[in-house]
Amino acid sequence: MTETRTLSLEEIESLSLRALVAAGTTEENARPLAVATAATEADGVASHGLAYIPIYCEHVQCGKVDGQAAPILSTPKPGVVAVDAATGFAHPAIDLGFEALIPTARAQGIAALAVRNSYNCGVLGYHTYRLAQAGLVGLGFTNAPASIAPSGGSRPVVGTNPFSLAVPDADGQPVILIDQSASTIAKSEVMKHAREGKPIPVGWALDSDGNPTTDPAVGLKGSMAPSGGYKGVGVALLTEVMAAVLTGATLGVHASPFSGTAGGPPKTGQFFIAIDPGATSGSSFAGNVAGLVEAIRFQNGAHLPGDGRSAKRRQARTDGVAVSVATLDKITAILA
251 with 116, same domain: the answer is yes
Q: Find all residues with CB under 8 Å of 31, minimum gap 6, and list them.
A: 17
Instruction: Tell me which of 13, 16, 41, 47 is the catalytic residue.
Output: 47
Instruction: Tell me which of 16, 41, 48, 164 is the catalytic residue.
Output: 48
36 with 95, same domain: the answer is no
1 with 120, same domain: the answer is no
8 with 58, same domain: the answer is yes
Distance (Å, whole) CA 157 – CA 141:
17
273 with 150, same domain: the answer is yes
Q: Where are the alpha helices (DSSP H) in the chain?
A: 9-22, 27-42, 53-62, 90-108, 124-133, 187-196, 216-221, 230-240, 277-281, 285-297, 307-319, 325-335
Condensed to tens digits (0 to 9), the pLDDT of residues 123-176 reads 999 999 999 999 999 999 999 999 999 988 888 999 999 999 999 998 888 999
The residues that bridge with 223 in the sheet, in sequence order, are 206
The CATH number assigned to the domain holding 320 equals 1.10.1530.10
What is the tally of structural domains in the chain? 2
The CATH number assigned to the domain holding 128 equals 3.30.1370.60
Inter-residue long-range contacts of 210-215, CB under 8 Å, 24+ positions, other chains counted: 210/149, 210/154
pLDDT at 198: 92
258 with 315, same domain: the answer is no
Structural domain includes residue 267: yes
Structural domain includes residue 202: no
286 with 179, same domain: the answer is yes
Please give the C-alpha separations between residue 268 and each of 33, 103, 220, 250, in angstroms, as whole numbers: 17, 25, 20, 5
pLDDT at 222: 87
Structural domain includes residue 30: yes
Torsion of CA 177, 182, 187, 190, to 10 degrees: 100
133 with 1, same domain: the answer is no
pLDDT at 47: 84
283 with 317, same domain: the answer is no
In the chain, which stretches have pLDDT less than 50? none
Structural domain includes residue 208: no
173 with 106, same domain: the answer is yes
189 is a catalytic site residue: yes
48 is a catalytic site residue: yes
51 with 113, same domain: the answer is no
Q: What is the residue-wise DSSP string for 279-308?
A: HHHGGGHHHHHHHHHHHHHTSTT---TTHH
Structural domain includes residue 1: yes
Q: What range defines the domain where residue 290 resides?
A: 71-183+226-305
48 with 123, same domain: the answer is no
Instruction: Report the run of H or E that residue 248 belongs to, with start and end.
Output: none
Instruction: Tell me which of 189, 227, 240, 259 is the catalytic residue.
Output: 189
pLDDT at 118: 98
Residue 283: is it exposed, middle or buried by C-beta count within 10 angstroms (0-12/13-18/19+)? exposed
pLDDT at 186: 80
